[in-house]
């Protein structure tokens, strides 16, 4: 696996991303099929195409504030729009040329990208592999909530199964990460595929 490869479960029209929230945010979203109050539109929200990274980040849905894990299908058009309008969280001279240009991009772009160590199903880092997180704010947040979301699914039960599986060492079949594959990207995404550290 090359280091900076976007991996996701996707179809011809949708991409699966993951988020974890408290029940008071997740349950109304599941009922409405989109995010509604008390979800805050004013805060940046991070979407994650990697199921295993979501498991790591949420501690198998056991961390406070991340008790409900959602699988969210968004349009590929929306996902591509986010990549087109993204800026790396940290300065990269090969990409940005100057700190001034990077600072301007950070101030004007509504999408952030950071790369984190990818995880296996036991949540151990995979050597040489990074996984993408995409932060949405402003216009991107409006698009995400109002236009991009096709389906929201509660997958918390799967996280419980995987947590138990890690304890036994027996990997269950047909887990969400088994559906993830390299997402097709073009040279126009080179501005986010360069090496980056966490925000």
Least confident of 6-20, 79-93, 149-163: 79-93
Tell me the whole-structure pTM to 2 decimals.
0.90
Q: What is the pLDDT of residues 149-176, one digit of tens each?
A: 999 999 999 999 999 999 898 988 889 9
pLDDT higher than 50, residue 12: yes
Residue-range domain boundaries for the chain: 7-184
Cα distances (angstroms) measured from residue 96 to each of 5, 104, 142: 20, 10, 27
pLDDT at position 1, please?
Answer: 39
**pLDDT single digits (tens) 32-55:** 999 999 999 999 999 999 999 999
Q: Please report which helix (H) or strand (E) contains residue 27, including its range.
A: helix 23-32
- The full DSSP string for 64-112 is TT--EEEEEEEEHHHHHHHHHTEEESS--HHHHSSHHHHHHHHHH-SEE
Q: Does the structure show a pLDDT above 90 at 2?
A: no
pLDDT at 89 over 80: no
Give phi and psi for 173, each to the nearest 5.
-85, 160
Distance CA 32, CA 28 (A): 6
Question: What does the mean pLDDT of the chain come to?
Answer: 88
List pLDDT tens digits, range 113-155.
Answer: 999 999 999 999 999 899 999 999 999 999 999 999 999 999 9
Q: In which band, very low, low, confident or very high, does the pLDDT at 108 lie, cut at 50, 70 and 90?
A: confident
**Which residue would you say has higher pLDDT here, 191 or 148?**
148
**198 — pLDDT class (breaks 50, 70, 90):** very low
């Amino acid at each position: 696996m090359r280091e900076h490869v976007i991996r996701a479960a996707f179809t011809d029209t949708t991409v699966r991303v993951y988020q974890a929230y408290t029940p008071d945010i997740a349950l109304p979203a599941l009922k409405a099929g989109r995010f509604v109050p008390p979800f805050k539109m004013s805060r940046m929200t991070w979407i994650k195409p990697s199921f295993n990274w979501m498991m790591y980040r949420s501690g198998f849905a056991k961390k406070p504030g991340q008790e409900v894990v959602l699988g969210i299908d968004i349009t590929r058009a929306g996902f591509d729009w986010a990549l087109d309008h993204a800026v790396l969280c940290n300065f990269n001279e090969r990409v940005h040329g100057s700190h001034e240009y990077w600072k301007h991009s950070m101030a004007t772009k509504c999408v952030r990208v950071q790369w984190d160590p990818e995880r296996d199903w036991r949540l151990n880092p995979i050597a040489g592999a990074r996984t993408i997180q995409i932060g949405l704010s402003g216009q991107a947040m409006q698009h995400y909530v109002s236009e991009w979301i096709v389906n929201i699914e509660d997958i918390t039960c799967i996280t419980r199964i995987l947590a138990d599986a890690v304890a036994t060492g027996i990997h269950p079949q047909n887990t969400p990460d088994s559906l993830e594959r390299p997402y097709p990207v073009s040279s126009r995404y080179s501005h986010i595929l360069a090496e980056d550290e966490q925000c």
